[in-house]
Amino acid sequence: MPTRVLVPTGALGITFDRAALARGIAAKPDIIAVDGGSTDSGPFSLGSGTSKYSRAATKSEWRDLMVARAEAGVPLVVGTSGTCGTDSTVDWMYDITREIAAELGQRIKVARLYSSQPADRVTKALAAGRVQPLSPAPPISAETLATMRNIVALAGAEQVQAALATGADIVIAGRTTDTAIISALPLARGEHAGAAWHGAKVGECGALCTTNPTGGVVLIEFDREGFTVEPLVEGAICTPDSVSAHMLYENSDPFILYEPGGHLDVTAARYDALDGRCVRVTGSRWVPGRYTVKLEGAALVGYQTSILAVLRDHRYVANAQRWVDELHAYLTDQIAKRMGLGAEAYALEFRLIGMNSALGDMENRQGEPVEVGVLGLITAPTAELAEEIGKLINPYVLHYPLTKDEELPTFAFPYSPAQSERGPFYEFALNHIMELADPMEAFRLEVSEVGYA
């Protein structure tokens, strides 16, 4: 019996095609799997333990999936709940699920898979030589681990299988690999292991592997030899190129993909077009290895305040770099004199929008912009200090002259106040793997019934 996995979208929260979802349910899937997270938007989600997407968007999409699940009578799994997959975002997703179950009058069994890691677990594993750096990795120690706001481990297929084995209707998983929620059931049912992981990789971004990437929904059918991917959005097709090219996406190596317990090798994979719409893939290989899970961590670096001004005066636009360099030196001096703060106690950076704000030193083009945006970024140990520096520099960012003998210029400020608090600033601080003796050693399962009795 083949195993059919319905993937509604590449990310819960960015919507999907409802008609295609209905087509997917009609095709009788064995499971519905959707990814709820990514590191794409940066370290803030993990640092703060909050979702990037709005609760309203998440709830409306999750509600439709819960209705579809009840109709199909199969499990529904969300991986990396709430963008970062910390315990707090699993609980957030659980809360949403309970609310919807009550509203829909559903009585369902929910398994929560928790992936957050207490720092001392990682510290002990580090001391025991069971934590290894990937390349490149920030240096870590017991001290740095203790200061991280959140650490998660990426669960693989085994932990998702354990959650499914509870008989849950819905699995709300914390951080998992993007692929594990899709590969778990096919692997548990003995489908081809290389195909299970390769098909999961192809499907993890939803319809990105089709010719209509915005539509969402795909169905992947796994069997003992390979997998077949079928797009469900009206008019969308999969071609051998659209499917094989997906291994390029967000992957540093397009042939190898590391997962807990081994790696996928697609060097010898064959992609065949079926009926002009579906693609059949065979020849993918799973190579078993040590059981390791990848770690992600975010550390609080400080608090930021930003300030934005726009130069439109031609002389200032033409001399923007010199102006900002002189302004920076002047401000460093003023901050030292008036606040008693040396340059090591905070960070102040200006970026010139219209010149090189996206690429910095790598920028190799020059133009004659009409205007230049001046984005000032202040990072300090406390929010109060960052804001205080923002207020101190505000009048100079507004009026700093190129020469001493001219009337003070006044640049364009788009807001009042010109400076805005950006809140806590986090950085990714782990790129490591942790070896486990047992896949569930670093993960926790909670099972409960929700909705009306």
Partner 1 sequence: MPKLGERVLRVRSKNAGPFWVTVDIFCGTPEVFGELKTGLRTETVAALFQQPSQLVKRFDIADLNVIKFSFPRPVVQGARADRDMHGAQWATLLAELDMRD
Contacts with partner 1, residue ranges (CB under 8 A): 39-44, 134-138, 241, 244-245, 248-255, 301, 347, 349, 351, 357-362, 364-365, 377, 379, 425-428, 431
Among 128, 134, 139, 168, residue whose Cα is nearest residue 154: 134
Report the distance separating Cα 134 and Cα 50, nearest Å: 26
Q: How far is the CB of 294 from partner 1 (least distance, A)?
A: 9
Q: Would you say 193 or 430 has its CB closer to partner 1?
A: 430
The residue type of 264 is: L
Q: Would you say 304 or 419 has its CB closer to partner 1?
A: 304
Q: Would you say 56 or 358 has its CB closer to partner 1?
A: 358
Q: How far is the CB of 43 from partner 1 (least distance, A)?
A: 4
**HEC readout, 151-184:** EEECECHHHHHHHHCCCCCEEEECCECCCHHHHH
At residue 49, the 3 state secondary structure works out as coil
Q: How far is the CB of 358 from partner 1 (least distance, A)?
A: 5
Q: How far is the CB of 349 from partner 1 (least distance, A)?
A: 8
Neighbours of 211 (CB within 10 A): 16
Report the distance separating Cα 136 and Cα 126, nearest Å: 17
Q: Enter the tokens of residue 449.
A: 């019934």
Q: Would you say 104 or 245 has its CB closer to partner 1?
A: 245
At residue 243, the 3 state secondary structure works out as helix
Q: How far is the CB of 241 from partner 1 (least distance, A)?
A: 6
Report the distance separating Cα 145 and Cα 164, nearest Å: 32
Q: Enter the tokens of residue 287.
A: 């190579």
Report the distance separating Cα 146 and Cα 119, nearest Å: 6
Q: Would you say 255 or 396 has its CB closer to partner 1?
A: 255
The residue type of 137 is: A
Q: Enter the tokens of residue 214.
A: 């915005």
Q: How far is the CB of 298 from partner 1 (least distance, A)?
A: 9
Q: Would you say 364 or 403 has its CB closer to partner 1?
A: 364
